[in-house]
Structure 1
């Protein structure tokens, strides 16, 4: 009786509507208990929005839930099944090291998934140990919270606990479990799984569930599944444009890593670009550059085409007509993405209205950045504050000509120059999670058990558009290196 009271006081208000879907969509699976859960970090702002009690979460019972040793009331733990095109090759997948506890109903009535990542083996583990290492879990915590602060739709990180066990990857590492919060974990790969191994009726159930969960404003008299496709395309067009605008590289844009909700999901070998280069790749496994920075919009379109294929039986009884509807919808992605990207780039340059020459002005700047190895974030930051002495390209005749054209462009709009610079300040972050700073924080945490470096980094990353003096040190570039920066999946 006492234990139940503790959990209720924590604020858990869980349901699991996904568990009411056809049983082929998932496997009921409890987390594998761990010997010694220890709380490493807790996301206090997120706790408040979820309606949870931070003190109760830090208690032994609260940490036991975050470590998978206790199941809160209302939870129905399960591992979701899905498939995916991984680097273009289709395969059966699923939650191999994660368990969905259920959906927290927030004080505002929103429904969000609560998932434990690194919680042990499932039927989808494919020979893996089902566990996660501390470094990759802290990395996801840092990057996802930075993305949220940048205003980019993303899954969130509620907590990280260590397990008291080691995991073997390239070396022996401390085991950890991250509690991930998401609008849902429905993926393009979820639809691919049901399309391949389920029935048309099961596919319809999944589509209806997704509409109810994320797209409730569908009109009764319209093609609801075409509406679903178009809305997913809209959200992805907006999301990928925002990635490009801040220089974020996901690293592994497989179809199982594209969330139907439009959130960024699965932070494995991801990083932010320093020097501007469309060919930038950070993932150690992306040897051919399939998921390079410049390819992300094209890959998003490819993934959406795979999503559209799964919906064909629902779009129309006539297959040819269904294909035509799907093709027309997917073909609109490029224009939607381009509109979002161009609008965002205009804002980064303080431009309020539209002129035909704007895109060439933008491309000329990016070309100079690539030619002179300009830092992407710091170049826009320098333009925002008119501090043009820090980059080699600012002293060239090319840039002087471009700057003159840009200033003339700003002069051809009704808004003042001050208004333009205010717009730029709100759209150009002072700080991103620089790769060397993230590695510095992870090394201190994993090797020295010193979490203060990470805490300071998270603090400055939480206000990327504040442009306050304490951020300056975190905007400096790393020392030149002959080795390219590489990140790893952490599986």
Structure 2
């Protein structure tokens, strides 16, 4: 019985499509066994997406998803890629602690299944190829939280843990996250072959991406240019989604940018607490390159690096080729601006577009930034702001230190609502459907981590259920409350 049948998915007789490209793109190797593995957490929502049976979580699955065994047909592999890290060419990178087990097919959708933390690969450089429990919990929870928020992302099926020691700043315990996505291909995959002058391999890889992930681009006059434009549009939509929800990635290197427009590689991420456009969530980012406000521009820079990688595939005058690729990137700006404006209109409950909306939104964000008012709570409470001029609602007004300035903005907002005859009863559920009550704040993740490190995994399970319904008021009010004072002392870095 093949491993697809073991997991209850639709059987597929051929290997993972990426592996057909050949050994120049990947290395086949088994995972390194993890001692005494145990279940830490599983996502029923992700299991449902994969079409797994209810009883999929068994001892055999535990061993396979910890790297201790393989099902029939599994030929694990790690891929090679390169990339720019913090704006500097870093050379060859690759799946240093990720192993692809193969593919599942369900409902016509193909899913790559990958173990993160399953040991060294040829691309581990000086790393040990392991993941620690702390970072695995963060990635697991945030992957599933982002999916529930409706933001394109890789998914996480489960975490398995072990008492096996892993040295980071301190000695921690090992864990493995099972991640799934239609593809884990990154900008850095294309950069790798372009940088090393391997044009045949670059051409093969682009043909693979076109065939499996952008078939509509194959009929374009210049398919690589059409592909670049598609990636630019998807990336713009992703950046707008991040900015609207207040998500900071932390390490937007080109090797962490998805060719499919997915949120990829959850390391030192963070959701905004107090609104600070210059907030840097990654303690290792000393220059603030990946600050919240800079994320859209960094993505555009990364797209230029991707365009540079595609240049060798396009014949003709170099200047003309550069112009062609530049034109393919130009929709990024327009799509990002349109999606941001649409997303912020939705967050403010505006049904119709007016020319003055951008100024109203900008002034709202300046108001939040003035004293770093909590981003998630302010938007959630705004949904209950009454449109009637004689009414007020203290829970919103009182979170602003400069209440007079808030009152001036609120007057403009009420006038704007009045122009489209906005009804409070109708507007409230519409706004609450786009303004989450709960996001994965660092202190929520930290509480789950501390309990898990003490052997109690129930907080992960509880928090996961809350995060999978982010637009509902949680039963535990503290999940949606202001962060405690100690949360400001939490730091996440590239080792997170």
- TM-score category of the 2 structures, normalised to the smaller one: over 0.9
Kindly provide the CA deviation profile for residues 410-446 of structure 1, in whole angstroms up to 9, marking residues without a partner as x: 2222664443333211111111112111101111011
* Residue 454 in structure 1 maps to residue 457 in structure 2: no
1:8 aligns with 5
User: Comparing 328-337 with 218-227, which one deviates more in the overlay?
Assistant: 218-227
Q: Find the partner of 1:412 among 419, 430, 445.
A: 419
Distance in structure 2 (CA, Å) of the matches to 1:166 and 1:156: 26
Distance in structure 2 (CA, Å) of the matches to 1:78 and 1:19: 8
1:45 aligns with 45
Distance in structure 1 (CA, Å) of the matches to 2:3 and 2:274: 50
Kindly provide the CA deviation profile for residues 73-93 of structure 1, in whole angstroms up to 9, marking residues without a partner as x: 332211110001111111210
2:134 aligns with 135
Residue 201 (structure 1) shift:
2.3
Q: TM-score when scaled to structure 1?
A: 0.94
2:490 aligns with 485
Any residues of structure 2 matched to 1:58-457 within 5 Å, and which? Answer: 58-91=57-90, 92-106=92-106, 108-218=107-217, 220-386=219-385, 387-390=393-396, 391-393=398-400, 396-413=403-420, 416-446=423-453, 448-457=454-463
C-alpha contact (below 8 Å) 1:156/1:180 kept by paired residues:
yes
Kindly provide the CA deviation profile for residues 173-196 of structure 1, in whole angstroms up to 9, marking residues without a partner as x: 111111000121110001100111
Residue 163 (structure 1) shift:
3.4
Aligned length: 484
Distance in structure 1 (CA, Å) of the matches to 2:139 and 2:120: 20
Residue 5 (structure 1) shift:
7.5
C-alpha contact (below 8 Å) 1:153/1:264 kept by paired residues:
yes
Residue 379 (structure 1) shift:
0.4
Distance in structure 2 (CA, Å) of the matches to 1:8 and 1:357: 57
Q: Find the partner of 1:470 among 451, 458, 475.
A: 475
Q: 1:393 aligns to what SS in structure 2?
A: coil
Distance in structure 2 (CA, Å) of the matches to 1:110 and 1:471: 36
Distance in structure 2 (CA, Å) of the matches to 1:89 and 1:155: 26
Structure 1 residues 221, 124: closer, same or farther in 2, change over 3 A? closer
Distance in structure 1 (CA, Å) of the matches to 2:7 and 2:87: 43
Q: 1:420 aligns to what SS in structure 2?
A: helix
Q: 2:351 aligns to what SS in structure 1?
A: coil
Q: 2:288 aligns to what SS in structure 1?
A: coil
Residue 341 (structure 1) shift:
0.6
Distance in structure 1 (CA, Å) of the matches to 2:115 and 2:73: 15
Distance in structure 2 (CA, Å) of the matches to 1:198 and 1:209: 18
Distance in structure 2 (CA, Å) of the matches to 1:78 and 1:397: 60
Residue 482 (structure 1) shift:
9.5
Q: 1:71 aligns to what SS in structure 2?
A: coil
C-alpha contact (below 8 Å) 2:364/2:409 kept by paired residues:
yes
C-alpha contact (below 8 Å) 2:3/2:74 kept by paired residues:
no
User: Comparing 199-208 with 409-418, which one deviates more in the overlay?
Assistant: 409-418
Structure 1 residues 354, 255: closer, same or farther in 2, change over 3 A? same
User: Comparing 151-160 with 58-67, which one deviates more in the overlay?
Assistant: 58-67
Distance in structure 1 (CA, Å) of the matches to 2:120 and 2:218: 42
C-alpha contact (below 8 Å) 2:211/2:218 kept by paired residues:
no
Structure 1 residues 287, 62: closer, same or farther in 2, change over 3 A? same
C-alpha contact (below 8 Å) 1:281/1:292 kept by paired residues:
yes
Distance in structure 2 (CA, Å) of the matches to 1:74 and 1:105: 14
User: Comparing 450-459 with 244-253, which one deviates more in the overlay?
Assistant: 450-459
C-alpha contact (below 8 Å) 1:187/1:260 kept by paired residues:
yes
Q: 1:490 aligns to what SS in structure 2?
A: coil
User: Comparing 413-422 with 260-269, which one deviates more in the overlay?
Assistant: 413-422
Cα RMSD, aligned residues only? 1.9
Distance in structure 2 (CA, Å) of the matches to 1:329 and 1:471: 47
After the TM superposition, which parts of structure 1 deviate over 6 Å for at least 4 consecutive aligned residues? none
Kindly provide the CA deviation profile for residues 226-275 of structure 1, in whole angstroms up to 9, marking residues without a partner as x: 11001101110000100011110000000000010111010000011100
C-alpha contact (below 8 Å) 1:372/1:392 kept by paired residues:
no
Distance in structure 1 (CA, Å) of the matches to 2:96 and 2:278: 31
Distance in structure 1 (CA, Å) of the matches to 2:489 and 2:288: 14
Residue 72 (structure 1) shift:
2.1
Q: 2:264 aligns to what SS in structure 1?
A: coil
1:20 aligns with 20
Distance in structure 1 (CA, Å) of the matches to 2:3 and 2:258: 34
Q: TM-score when scaled to structure 2?
A: 0.93
2:388 aligns with none
Distance in structure 1 (CA, Å) of the matches to 2:281 and 2:475: 28
Structure 1 residues 450, 404: closer, same or farther in 2, change over 3 A? same
